[in-house]
C-alpha cells in the first residue's frame, strides 16, 4: 500500500484554511455553539472536530449527515482529495501535460520528414 505517499501528496495540494489549534467559529447567537466550516451548520462543541489536513472545523455527527469522514480521518473536502490521491487521479494534470508534450513531438517528427 502506498497510501502514505497519497497522504503526503494530498497535504501538498490541500489549502490550509485554519492553523492547527485555531478556535472554531463561534455561533453569533449562542455562546456554546460553533459553526461548521463546511456546511455552516450550528453545532455543539463536541459535535465538531478539526481536520488535520486543512484545519477546518467540521461537524461530526455519528450516523447522520456530517462533514467528517471517519474512515480517512479527514473532513469531507479533504477526504475527496485523499480518495483521488489514493486512486492516483491527482496526477492527472501531469499526465495531461505529458500528452501535450507528445503531441508536440509528433509535429517535430513531421518537420524532420520534410
70 is written with which cell numbers?
Answer: 471517519
Q: Which helix (H) or strand (E) holds 77?
A: helix 76-87
18 and 56 Cβ atoms separated by less than 8 Å: yes
72 binds Zn ion (CB under 5 A): no
Smallest distance from the beta carbon of 37 to Zn ion, in angstroms?
A: 8
Among 72, 75, 81, 85, binds Zn ion (CB under 5 A): 75
Site for Zn ion in 10-69 (CB under 5 A): 36, 38-39, 41, 51, 53-54, 56, 59, 67
Residues 6 or more apart in contact with residue 70 via CB below 8 angstroms: 60, 62
Site residues, Zn ion (CB under 5 A): 36, 38-39, 41, 51, 53-54, 56, 59, 67, 75, 78
Amino acid at each position: 500500500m502506498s497510501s502514505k505517499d497519497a497522504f503526503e501528496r494530498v497535504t501538498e495540494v490541500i489549502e490550509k484554511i485554519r492553523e492547527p489549534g485555531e478556535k472554531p467559529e463561534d455561533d453569533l447567537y449562542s455562546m456554546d455553539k460553533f459553526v461548521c466550516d463546511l456546511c455552516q451548520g450550528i453545532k455543539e462543541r463536541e459535535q465538531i472536530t478539526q481536520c488535520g489536513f486543512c484545519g477546518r472545523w467540521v461537524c461530526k455527527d455519528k450516523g447522520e449527515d456530517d462533514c467528517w469522514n471517519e474512515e480517512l480521518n479527514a473532513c469531507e473536502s479533504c477526504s475527496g482529495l485523499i480518495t483521488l490521491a489514493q486512486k492516483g487521479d491527482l496526477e492527472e494534470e501531469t499526465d495531461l501535460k505529458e500528452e501535450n508534450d507528445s503531441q508536440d513531438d509528433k509535429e517535430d517528427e513531421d518537420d524532420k520528414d520534410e
